């Protein structure tokens, strides 16, 4: 489940439909995804009816707002024109996507759970995706830089890889230093040559990514409550994972250009109602500074959040809330919240049919102990041989 904002358009989705709301005209349209195009019909996935398993996992506008893409967990990628909601393509991915992004020229780059990245054209919407690179570990994020010269990929094994684009076989550098998986990367808006990254180790890092040099590391251990961490560990145990954590993994990293020397960043977490706000100032030639501004607490764990025109949009089970940035703090945007009341009414209907995603298999590796079972079988076999 996801939502996205571009200018006056707000797109909100559940398992198989998208609501496109135009704030300026107060109009609302519903898009039902087309049937999955595949050579063979799939009715069951892991012994579960595919219709109950189907859900939208990603929804994004292109940078110029001309297109928006919808991706589902059944390897379906749909491309639409924003203006008239025309379906341009309905393509099938080779593997389920873990991240979907638009490049600055409106092409779509996909990172998948097999560790591969593919590029899908919007100018030739019927063409299949082009394989551009692969990792040995599951990819968690992918980013084509604004200048279209590099592609950056992160995986579950703590690595950030920097490759030339589109000739991605040419690896420029690795940004190594995270101790856990890296879930989010982004160019620093006011200084595009700097990369910001975060994941499961309780820090965000700034990099000179072209040479793989770490410029700054900021930890936020003290900003997360023990109750949230305990709740997350209980969720891990409930899903039969032996691992426990002492810091929450980052769910989303959002960045915004504030001025020529400053950027805002927002960080949200799994199993927490808190969003952290930082201001990053400086560049590679001057001292970089990270100033913690505040913690924003919302009603429930944010399903999704984003920054749009200095406004912070947060989607929770309760609905959409918008905050505006004023005097170094985010305060409730009363006027805009009043405008989107009808959209929140639609959300109350949409959310009733949503199947929530379990991200633990993506972020954590389940450990198996086969030794005891092997020893028991060996004892039985030896006992049989002595008789």
**Structural domain harbouring 56:** 1-133
DSSP per position, 291-325: EEEEEEE-SS--SEEEEETTEEEEE-SS-EEEEEE
CA atoms within 13 A on the CB side of 9: 22
Residues 70 and 166 both lie in one domain = no
Token pair recorded at residue 307: 């920054």
Residues 26 and 121 both lie in one domain = yes
Residues 72 and 106 both lie in one domain = yes
Query: Do the Cβ atoms of 216 and 281 come closer than 8 Å?
Result: no
Q: pTM, whole model, 2 decimals?
A: 0.89
Residues 338 and 370 both lie in one domain = yes
Question: In the prediction, which pLDDT does 11 show?
Answer: 94
Residues 57 and 141 both lie in one domain = no
CB atoms within 10 A of CB 386: 5
Residues 227 and 362 both lie in one domain = yes
Residues 143 and 284 both lie in one domain = yes
Question: In the prediction, which pLDDT does 358 show?
Answer: 63
Q: Which of the listed residues 133, 154, 179 is the one where a domain comes to its end?
A: 133
Q: Which of the listed residues 118, 133, 148 is the one where a domain comes to its end?
A: 133
Residues 321 and 242 both lie in one domain = yes
Residues 125 and 33: their CA atoms lie apart, in Å, by 16
DSSP per position, 144-188: E-TTSSEEEEEETTS-EEEEESS-TTSEEEEE---SS-EEEEEEE
Question: In the prediction, which pLDDT does 240 show?
Answer: 81
Residues 98 and 234 both lie in one domain = no
Residues 37 and 118: their CA atoms lie apart, in Å, by 18
Token pair recorded at residue 12: 């909100």
Token pair recorded at residue 223: 């900003």
Q: How many domains does the chain have?
A: 2
pLDDT tens figures, 335-360: 999 999 989 998 888 887 665 666 66
For 11, 32, 102, 255, 334, the CA distances from 62, given in Å and listed in that order, are 13, 20, 6, 16, 28
Tell me whether the omega of the peptide bond preceding residue 166 falls within 30 degrees of 0, making it cis: yes
Residues 165 and 231 both lie in one domain = yes
Residues 6+ apart with CB under 8 A from 375: none
Token pair recorded at residue 285: 């030639």
Q: Which of 345, 356, 359, 353 is nearest to 32 (CA)?
A: 353
Residues 198 and 332 both lie in one domain = yes
pLDDT tens figures, 154-201: 999 999 999 999 999 999 999 999 999 999 999 999 999 999 999 999
| Ramachandran class of 26: left when φ > 0, alpha when ψ lies in -120 to 50, beta otherwise | left
DSSP state for residue 46 in the 8-state scheme = T
Residues 15 and 52: their CA atoms lie apart, in Å, by 9
Residues 253 and 236 both lie in one domain = yes
What CATH code is carried by the domain that includes residue 66?
A: 2.130.10.10
Q: Which parts of the chain sit beneath pLDDT 50?
A: 45-53
pLDDT tens figures, 20-32: 999 999 899 999 9
Q: Which of the listed residues 86, 109, 133 is the one where a domain comes to its end?
A: 133
376 backbone dihedrals φ, ψ, rounded to 5°: -65, -45
Residues 304 and 318: their CA atoms lie apart, in Å, by 12
Question: In the prediction, which pLDDT does 56 show?
Answer: 83
């Amino acid at each position: 489940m996801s939502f996205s904002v571009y200018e006056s358009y707000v797109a909100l989705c559940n398992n198989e439909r998208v609501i496109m709301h135009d704030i300026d005209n107060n109009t609302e349209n519903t898009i039902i995804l087309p049937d999955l195009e595949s050579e063979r019909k799939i009715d069951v996935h892991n012994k579960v009816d595919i219709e109950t398993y189907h859900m939208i996992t990603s929804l994004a506008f292109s940078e110029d707002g001309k297109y928006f893409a919808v991706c589902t967990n059944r390897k379906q990628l749909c491309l639409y024109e924003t203006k008239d909601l025309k379906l341009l393509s309905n393509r099938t991915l080779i593997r389920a996507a873990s991240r979907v992004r638009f490049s600055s020229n409106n092409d779509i780059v996909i990172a998948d759970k097999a560790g591969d990245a593919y590029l899908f054209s919007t100018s030739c919407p019927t063409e299949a995706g082009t394989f551009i690179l692969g990792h040995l570990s599951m990819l968690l994020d992918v980013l084509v830089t604004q200048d279209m010269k590099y592609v950056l990929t992160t995986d579950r094994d703590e690595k950030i890889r920097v490759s030339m684009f589109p000739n991605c076989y040419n690896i420029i550098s690795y940004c190594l230093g995270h101790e856990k998986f890296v879930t989010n990367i982004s160019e620093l808006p006011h200084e595009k040559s700097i990369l910001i990254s975060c994941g499961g180790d309780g820090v965000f890092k700034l990099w000179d990514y072209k040479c793989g040099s770490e410029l700054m590391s900021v930890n936020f251990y003290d900003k997360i409550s023990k109750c949230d961490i305990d709740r997350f560990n209980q969720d891990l145990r409930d899903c039969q994972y032996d691992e426990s954590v002492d810091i929450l993994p980052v769910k989303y990293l959002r960045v915004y250009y504030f001025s020529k020397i400053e950027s805002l960043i927002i960080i949200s977490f799994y199993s927490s109602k808190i969003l952290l706000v930082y201001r990053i100032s400086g560049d590679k030639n001057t001292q970089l500074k990270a100033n913690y501004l505040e913690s924003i607490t919302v009603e429930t764990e944010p399903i999704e959040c984003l920054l749009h025109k200095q406004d912070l949009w947060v989607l929770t089970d309760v609905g959409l809330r918008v905050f505006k940035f004023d005097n170094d703090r985010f305060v409730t945007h009363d006027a805009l919240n009043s405008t989107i009341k009808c959209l929140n009414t639609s959300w109350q209907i949409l959310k009733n049919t949503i199947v929530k995603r379990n991200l633990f298999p993506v972020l954590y590796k389940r450990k198996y102990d086969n030794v005891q079972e092997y020893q028991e079988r060996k004892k039985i076999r030896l006992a049989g041989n002595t008789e």
